[in-house]
């Protein structure tokens, strides 16, 4: 069934507080029983820039924005042209502006949307301490059928710190807006079932990533800030000490990655988070961790690339460096969450795998997931905790062989402090004892070991999310999953059956499993947010794809829309 | 430490069976011996010691000891050691490497390690050359040394002054040794290990192959004329006028407390962290 | 530090132990170095010296028997000069060194040790210390004579063959 929802943008500039307004709206709707998704767009100014809060509210979980927005409410029109492409409007949309802010800009008006006037400034002025953004919220609440109580409770809770006057001012502004909005057309939310207490979370992708790390057992993080990954690190900075862990700010990404390798060598599961430019810096040390078989997790919250790129926007173009960024043959894990909620599981799983296989797991998140907030069902508690194979006691009289070739490829790791387990971890190729070696036999044996341990592991069902049936399959990953899933849901309504394969374990490839999942498929659509079709090329390299293959790929900064995927399939003759 | 603990180990207990591949005549042999002697006097078992290095001739040292070791990548020994020490404060962590590894590619980490003042002992074997890669100038090489094919006219760049820079950046213990006096070096290494915070020990360690003229160092070095000071300003003045050949003594001993991780009270269950997400 | 400071036979034995074990270990390490660098003749020579020192060390340990000697940190020994006699000077070795040069290095070391004991014997205030020091001196002087004999047989110095190959890169 296609998702029934209401999509709203609140835009403004120069301190209008539209992001705050959006967050309040999300929370009020969430507490009243709806699901919601909110992302943000902003200009480059640190403060006072143009900004927009983009929300989608529904009676069921929403993983991505729809094709267009139903309502755009603008506190002012400051530089709104910057976001025009991110706020698709149709003739069925409603645009609300403050007449005191002048004409609706052509770039918005050209959509043919219906225009309404809301005298926000005037209404706000009538209230002591009143603000336009709260007036807007009131009008929106009236239009969508959000109960007043829901917002008032949120205001009381959120503004408690600021005191009763602040609460009163906001409440009054909100009510004034509701009153004005009563005259506006209704854009009603679908009816929501009040969900069970404590059964849902409000969380961003970055928070979920960080939470997944902690659940997985990470207790040491070295941090260097970089947009848009800093949120992950800041959450961990507050959370880790509470569970007995440590976060240290490092001087650069090279220090971060090497510090976590050192901590992990000492026995503590360790992680860092960065974005594309940081991952580039870290690749040498990632290779060291692979060669020395020291487990670490590196989260890459992808942004527009290459180089400095577009730091505040999303893209999926770090796939290549995640897969191939290390010199030499350096097999490792690449895991990618497919939704905001999945950020928790995917990261937790990555920690578990990295520890179990004594290797590096790169978690590919992206800005779209990382910096959006969603209301999700409470994630299940899963028993994927780190379980590193160590050796507490060593066979007497035998020199310890850190890199012994075992059946699984995983050899027990002596932690410093274990008597008799002393060895020197090394990036140099080595023999089973860890002594540097340039011998062909040792190199082959260790390369085989490091490849085998990863290839032979049973990853179970988590390698991909597979849904639906039919002879058409959409293969995708990461944040492209949400719009793809929604498109397939609409196609089903239109009588077209198609499968979705959202791949969570990008490396190592799982050819047998993919072949099984694609049995009966004669048409494959690969969907990704890259300019160069990185994912498609990777699939081609690793997998046999049946029948006819088409690709839907384009770079950021604009998100893939469900309609694009829908059209690509329904137009496919 | 008590005499019985100190007598428990000999230097041999801290050397592995691996035969070093350093050129005969290399100063690093004496450093290895001095380190082993210092660790023997420290009295901790080898499994509680970790020796961390980067890349270079002197960075091969971890495998020549019987401690836990990590031979990391070029220039990154200090962050590797920092992460280990912060995760495992119970270990004694010694960082080793050369002047190129430490002050060129590793320069940034050097500055911040001094600032951060984690309890580490950093032993830099300074031979003013990149020995492993066949003899290029290093940051501590004199500006007019023309012995490298990469800089045949000399570098014409001021040499890096590790001790005064380390002092300014916050190192808590600073000393200079000469490989020709391993017993005294052992004493200073032990002192550095026992002194809290970041201990920086520069060892003039001649490279017989690429800087054979350094074999004359033994005629040039002199015992530092004054004992250490705890006054950073005084130490700075001394180091600014120091010619690099005052050896055999601790030059500065500060009293900054070592960096320690802020641990909370008793750890809370992970589930408690999740409360903030609940609706 | 003056050898005057050695006041008992126990202290003297502790120093002797350091000299002998230092020599045994030192020559063994030099043998390893030269072996790794494929100068087998000199390696064999150092190996032989290590062997002799080991025998000497064994006799010394027998002499010490159950006596509890004072523990001295490496920097607490009272060597009489800046060049402690407790290990051969490793900075003097070269991978291309000849047997003659190796013997000269050993000779320097043995003479230094002999001089140390001679100085001790001269300055000793106690009879038992003096006697012990003299006996150690005699042993070292025997070593000196042995090495001088080998030197005579070793032939002229000659310049060692130059190594035509340029230095390699290990990493």
DSSP A118-138: --HHHHHHTSTT--HHHHHHH
pLDDT, position C158: 58
Q: In the structure encoding, which two tokens stand for residue A416, read together?
A: 């410093």
Q: Which residue of C35, C75, C97 is in closest CB contact with B184?
A: C75
The A residues from 245 to 264 touching B (CB cutoff 8 Å) are: 246, 248, 250-252, 254-256, 258-264
The distance of A372 to chain B (nearest Cα, Å) reads 14
- When pLDDT is averaged across residues B50-66 and rounded to a whole number, the result is 97
**Using 50, 70 and 90 to split pLDDT, how confident is the model at C157?**
low
Task: Give the integer Cα–Cα distance in Å for A233 and A224.
Answer: 8
- When pLDDT is averaged across residues A49-66 and rounded to a whole number, the result is 95
Q: In what order do the strands lie in the sheet with A270-274?
A: A246-249, A220-223, A270-274, A296-302, A360-366, A333-335, A505-507
The distance of A393 to chain B (nearest Cα, Å) reads 13
Q: In what order do the strands lie in the sheet with A200-204?
A: A114-117, A94-97, A71-74, A5-12, A51-58, A35-42, A373-377, A200-204
Within 13 Å and on the Cβ side, how many CA atoms surround A519?
Answer: 4
Give CA separation, A222 vs A392, A511, B54, B269, in Å. Answer: 27, 35, 19, 22
pLDDT, position B5: 47
Please list the helix, strand and coil fractions of chain B in percent, rounded to the nearest 5, in that order. Answer: 40, 20, 45
Nearest C-alpha in C relative to B210: C167
Residue B30: Cβ-neighbour burial (10 angstroms; 0-12, 13-18, 19+): buried
**Using 50, 70 and 90 to split pLDDT, how confident is the model at B267?**
very high
Task: Give the integer Cα–Cα distance in Å for B246 and B240.
Answer: 12
Nearest by Cα to B155 from B165, B145, B168? B145
Q: How many CB pairs under 8 A join B and C?
A: 75
- Specify whether the backbone of A476 is left (phi greater than 0), alpha (psi in -120 to 50) or beta: beta
List the subunits that have 3+ CB pairs under 8 angstroms with B: A, C
Subunit contact A265:B80, Cβ cutoff 8 A: yes
| pLDDT tens, residue by residue, B174-197 | 999 999 999 999 999 999 999 999
- Beta pairing, strands B92-98 & B120-126: parallel
Subunit contact C169:B37, Cβ cutoff 8 A: no
ipTM: 0.92
Nearest by Cα to A371 from A11, A13, A19, A12? A19
- In this prediction the pTM is 0.94
Subunit contact B279:A30, Cβ cutoff 8 A: yes
The distance of B222 to chain A (nearest Cα, Å) reads 36
Dihedral (CA of B256, B257, B260, B266) sign: negative
Residue B33: Cβ-neighbour burial (10 angstroms; 0-12, 13-18, 19+): buried
Q: Which of A131-135, A152-156, A381-385 has the lowest mean pLDDT?
A: A381-385
Q: B24, B55, B100, B132: which to substitute to probe chain C, counting the most C Cβ within 10 Å?
A: B24
A-chain residues within 8 Å CB-CB of B262?
241
Subunit contact B132:C169, Cβ cutoff 8 A: yes
Asked whether the predicted pLDDT for residue A505 surpasses 70, the reply is: yes
Asked whether the predicted pLDDT for residue B271 surpasses 70, the reply is: yes
- When pLDDT is averaged across residues A256-282 and rounded to a whole number, the result is 98
Which residue spans within chain B are E strands per DSSP?
49-53, 68-71, 92-98, 120-126, 173-178, 198-204, 222-223, 246-247, 249-253
**Using 50, 70 and 90 to split pLDDT, how confident is the model at A109?**
very high
Q: Using alpha carbons only, how large is chain A's radius of gyration in Å?
A: 26
B-chain residues within 8 Å CB-CB of C92?
25
- Beta pairing, strands A51-58 & A5-12: antiparallel
The distance of C9 to chain B (nearest Cα, Å) reads 19
Nearest C-alpha in A relative to B18: A435
C-chain residues within 8 Å CB-CB of B29?
29, 33, 90
**Using 50, 70 and 90 to split pLDDT, how confident is the model at C83?**
low
CB of A417 less than 8 A from some CB of B: yes
Mean pLDDT of chain C: 89
Q: How many CB pairs under 8 A join A and B?
A: 175
**Using 50, 70 and 90 to split pLDDT, how confident is the model at A128?**
very high
Q: How far is CA A17 from the centre of its chain?
A: 24
pLDDT, position C168: 81
Angle value at C-alpha B60, between B58 and B65, nearest 5 degrees: 110
Q: In the structure encoding, which two tokens stand for residue C55, read together?
A: 């025998």
Q: Which residue of B47, B88, B262 is in closest CB contact with A421?
A: B47
């Amino acid at each position: 069934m296609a998702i029934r929802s209401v999509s709203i943008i609140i835009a403004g500039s120069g301190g209008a507080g539209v992001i705050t307004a959006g967050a309040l709206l999300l929370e009020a709707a969430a507490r009243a029983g709806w699901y919601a998704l909110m992302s943000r767009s902003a200009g480059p100014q640190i403060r006072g820039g143009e900004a927009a809060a983009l929300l989608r509210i529904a009676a069921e979980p929403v993983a991505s924005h729809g094709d267009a927005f139903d309502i755009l409410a603008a506190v002012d029109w400051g530089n709104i042209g910057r976001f025009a492409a991110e706020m698709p409007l149709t003739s069925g949309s409603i645009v609300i502006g403050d007449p005191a802010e002048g004409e609706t800009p052509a770039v918005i008006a050209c959509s043919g949307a219906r225009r309404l006037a809301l005298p926000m400034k005037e209404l706000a002025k009538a209230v002591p301490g009143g603000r336009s953004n709260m007036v807007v919220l009131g009008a929106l609440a009236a239009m969508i059928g959000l109960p007043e109580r829901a917002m008032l409770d949120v205001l009381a809770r959120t503004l408690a710190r600021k005191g009763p006057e602040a609460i009163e001012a906001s409440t009054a502004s909100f009510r004034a807006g509701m009153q004005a909005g009563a005259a506006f057309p209704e854009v009603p939310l679908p009816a929501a079932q009040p969900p069970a207490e404590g059964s849902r979370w409000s969380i961003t992708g970055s928070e979920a990533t960080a939470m997944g790390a902690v659940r997985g057992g990470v207790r040491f993080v070295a941090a260097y800030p970089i947009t848009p990954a800093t949120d992950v690190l800041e959450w961990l900075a507050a959370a880790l000490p509470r569970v007995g862990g440590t976060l240290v700010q490092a001087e650069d990404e090279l220090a971060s990655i090497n510090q976590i390798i050192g901590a992990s060598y000492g026995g503590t599961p360790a992680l860092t988070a960065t974005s594309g430019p940081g991952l580039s810096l870290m690749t040498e040390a990632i290779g060291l961790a692979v060669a020395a078989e020291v487990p670490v997790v590196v989260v890459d919250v992808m942004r527009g690339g290459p180089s400095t790129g577009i730091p505040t926007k999303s893209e999926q173009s770090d796939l290549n460096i995640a897969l191939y960024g290390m010199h030499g043959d350096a097999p490792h894990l690449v895991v990618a969450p497919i939704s905001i909620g999945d950020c928790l599981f995917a990261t937790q799983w990555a920690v578990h795998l990295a520890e179990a296989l004594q290797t590096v797991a790169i978690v590919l998140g992206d800005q779209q997931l990382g910096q959006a907030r969603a209301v999700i069902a409470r994630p299940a508690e899963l028993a994927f905790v780190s379980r590193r194979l160590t050796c507490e006691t060593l066979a007497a009289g035998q020199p310890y062989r850190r890199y012994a070739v075992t059946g699984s490829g995983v050899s027990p790791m002596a932690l410093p402090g274990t008597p008799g387990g002393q060895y020197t971890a090394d990036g140099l190729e080595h023999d089973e004892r860890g002594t540097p070696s340039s011998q062909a036999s040792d190199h082959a044996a260790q390369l085989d070991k490091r490849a085998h341990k990863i290839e032979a592991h049973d990853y179970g069902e988590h390698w991909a999310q597979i849904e639906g049936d039919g002879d058409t399959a959409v293969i995708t990953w990461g944040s492209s999953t949400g719009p793809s899933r929604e498109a397939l849901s609409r196609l089903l309504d239109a009588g077209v059956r198609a499968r979705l394969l959202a791949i969570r374990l990008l490396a190592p490839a799982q050819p047998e499993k993919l072949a099984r999942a694609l049995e009966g498929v004669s048409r494959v659509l690969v969907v990704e947010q890259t300019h160069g079709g990185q994912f498609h090329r990777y699939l081609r390299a690793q997998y046999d794809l049946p029948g006819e293959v088409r690709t839907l790929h384009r770079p950021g900064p604009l998100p893939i829309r469900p309609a694009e995927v829908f059209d690509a399939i329904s137009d496919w003759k | 430490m008590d005499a019985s603990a100190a007598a428990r180990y000999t230097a041999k207990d801290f050397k592995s069976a691996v035969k070093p591949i350093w050129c005969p005549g290399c100063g690093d042999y004496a450093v290895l011996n001095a380190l082993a002697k210092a660790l023997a006097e420290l009295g901790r078992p080898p499994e509680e010691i970790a020796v961390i290095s980067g890349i270079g001739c002197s960075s091969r040292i971890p495998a020549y000891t019987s401690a836990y070791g990590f031979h990391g990548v070029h220039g990154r020994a200090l962050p590797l050691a920092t992460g280990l020490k912060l995760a495992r404060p119970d270990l004694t962590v010694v960082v080793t490497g050369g002047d190129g590894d430490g002050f060129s590619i590793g320069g940034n980490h050097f500055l911040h390690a001094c600032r951060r003042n984690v309890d580490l002992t950093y032993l830099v074997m300074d031979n003013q050359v990149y020995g492993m890669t066949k003899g290029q100038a290093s940051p501590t090489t004199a500006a007019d040394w023309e012995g490298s094919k990469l800089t045949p006219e000399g570098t014409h760049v001021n040499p890096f002054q590790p001790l005064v820079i380390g002092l300014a950046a916050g190192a808590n213990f600073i000393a200079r040794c000469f490989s020709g006096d391993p017993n005294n070096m052992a004493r200073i290494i032990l002192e550095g290990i026992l002194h809290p915070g970041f201990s920086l020990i520069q060892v003039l360690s001649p490279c017989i192959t690429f800087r054979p003229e350094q074999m004359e160092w033994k005629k040039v070095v002199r015992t530092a004329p004054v004992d250490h000071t705890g006054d950073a300003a005084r130490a700075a003045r001394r180091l600014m006028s120091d010619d690099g050949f005052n050896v055999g003594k601790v030059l500065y001993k500060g009293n900054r407390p070592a960096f320690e991780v802020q641990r909370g009270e008793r750890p809370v269950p992970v589930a408690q962290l999740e409360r903030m997400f609940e609706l | 530090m003056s050898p005057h400071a050695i006041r008992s036979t126990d202290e003297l034995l502790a120093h002797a132990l350091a000299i002998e074990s230092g020599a045994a270990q030192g020559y063994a390490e030099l043998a390893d170095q030269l072996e790794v660098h494929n100068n087998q003749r000199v390696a064999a020579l150092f190996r032989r010296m290590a062997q002799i020192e080991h025998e000497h060390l064994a006799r010394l340990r027998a002499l010490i028997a159950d006596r509890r000697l004072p523990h001295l940190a490496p920097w607490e020994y009272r060597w009489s000069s800046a060049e402690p006699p407790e290990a051969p000077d490793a900075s003097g070795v070269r991978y291309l060194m000849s047997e003659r040069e190796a013997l000269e290095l050993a000779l320097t070391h043995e003479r230094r040790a002999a001089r140390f004991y001679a100085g001790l014997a001269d300055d000793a205030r106690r009879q038992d210390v003096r006697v012990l020091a003299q006996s150690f001196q005699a042993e070292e002087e025997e070593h000196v004579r042995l090495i001088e004999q080998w030197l005579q047989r070793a032939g002229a110095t000659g310049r060692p063959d130059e190594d035509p190959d340029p230095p390699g890169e290990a990493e």
